[in-house]
Amino acid sequence: MGNLEILLQAPIFSVQLLIDGLLVGSIFALAAYGMALLWGVMNIINISQGDFVILGGYVTLTLYNAGIHPLFGVPVAAVVLFIVGWVIYRAVIYRVVDRDLFISILATFGISILLQQLMDQIFGADIQSVESGLGQFFLFDNQVTVSQIKLVAFAVVIVVGVVLVLFFKKSRMGQAIRATAQNARAARLMGINTDRVYAMTFAMNAALCGAAGALVVMTWVIQPFIGLAYTIRSFMIVVVAGLGNIAAVVAAALGLGAAEQFAAFLLGAEFQIGFVFGLLVVILLVRNMFLKRQRQVLK
């Protein structure tokens, strides 16, 4: 806790942490929104969410190694992951959509392990990152640095968010997805091909994760086995924000990003992942406590 004194003596550090946290949090928002989408439309919790993110990162890394600027990785990773998502839906997910929810959790858990190990075999277990070649902004007499790539990432997230909102409001597919989320059976009666809607939803979710992964590899690092942390972050954000409200998802994601930066600074970076998982348990328990008050059960 020695770092707490540093924070108190030099409050400008908190500004640095806050800015970093908010910018990182915006990336979490992408994966979290995908999870909310999947949860709302198909009632599936995708444990492999984080592994899609990491896979998107590796797609960008491969492009970078081939000499292409990593920012192009954002659309490319999205397209590649869209296809991966579609294939996974056709191979596995459509068999578990209507079944017991434990089956879908376990099935996506298996997919998560499969993807992790495949990435480990193909790309190696090293921690990797790419250099975006962008510089830094200096604020407050050079006491606060903001890397430009993080700002770019933030902008990308905003653009994707606006496109998503428009997609759901205007396009036929977006409307079909919303209709299916409200009542799948009624949607089917109205002539909507719900199977296609599900496939589209799953693939779109994977594409969102892929874009997030491309941003992660530019602003942070990737490694085959850190995907689960992104799944947990997404889950936490969705639990706090609720389903189907993109503004709340973004707000919760920014909050989580900032909380994580402060925790990593105060507790030490080695406890950051532990903090994420611990926070999950705390959030779920507190949520359950509030729910319990409304419920009449035997003690």
Partner 1 sequence: MNRRGKTALYVAAAIAALLIPQIPLLQPYLIQFAFLWVMILFAMTWDVMGGQMGYNSFGNIVFFGVGMYATAVVQRDLYFTVEEYASVAGGEQAALTPVEYLIGLALGMGSGAVLAVVIAALLGSGILGLRGHYFAICTLGLGIAAGELASGWDYIGAGSGLVTPLLPDALGERGPFFFYLFLVLAMITFAALKRLYAGQFGLAINAIRDDEDKADALGLHATRYKTVAWCVSGFFLALTGGAFGNLVIFIDPTDVAFAGPTFGVWMVLMAILGGKGTLWGPVIGATVFHVTQEFFWIYLFGWQRVALGLLIVVVVVFFPLGIVGWLRERWPQRFGEVVDEDARRVQVSLEGER
Interface contacts to partner 1, rule CB under 8 A: 45, 47, 92, 95-96, 101-103, 105-107, 109-118, 120-121, 225, 228, 232, 235, 239, 270-271, 273-274, 277-278, 280-281, 284-285, 288-289, 291-292, 297-299
The distance of closest approach from Cβ of residue 294 to partner 1 in the complex, given in angstroms and rounded to an integer, is: 12
* Residue among 72 and 271 whose Cβ is closer to partner 1: 271
* Residue among 168 and 277 whose Cβ is closer to partner 1: 277
* Residue among 121 and 148 whose Cβ is closer to partner 1: 121
224 vs 127: CA distance, rounded Å: 8
The distance of closest approach from Cβ of residue 93 to partner 1 in the complex, given in angstroms and rounded to an integer, is: 9
The distance of closest approach from Cβ of residue 80 to partner 1 in the complex, given in angstroms and rounded to an integer, is: 19
The distance of closest approach from Cβ of residue 254 to partner 1 in the complex, given in angstroms and rounded to an integer, is: 21
Residue type, 21: G
The distance of closest approach from Cβ of residue 34 to partner 1 in the complex, given in angstroms and rounded to an integer, is: 16
Contacts of 220 (CB under 8 A, 6+ apart): 24, 129
The distance of closest approach from Cβ of residue 6 to partner 1 in the complex, given in angstroms and rounded to an integer, is: 20
Give the side-chain half-sphere CA count within 13 A for 183.
Answer: 6
Q: Could you tell me the two tokens for 50?
A: 């984080």
Closest CA to 214 of 68, 54, 66: 54
The terminus-to-terminus CA distance of the chain in angstroms comes to 39
* Residue among 92 and 251 whose Cβ is closer to partner 1: 92
Q: What's the burial of 245, exposed, middle or buried (CB within 10 Å: 0-12/13-18/19+)?
A: middle
Alpha helices (H) in the chain, listed in sequence order:
2-9, 12-42, 49-65, 73-88, 94-96, 101-123, 148-170, 172-182, 184-189, 194-219, 227-241, 246-267, 272-294
Closest CA to 50 of 279, 299, 276, 242: 276
* Residue among 152 and 253 whose Cβ is closer to partner 1: 253
* Residue among 45 and 153 whose Cβ is closer to partner 1: 45
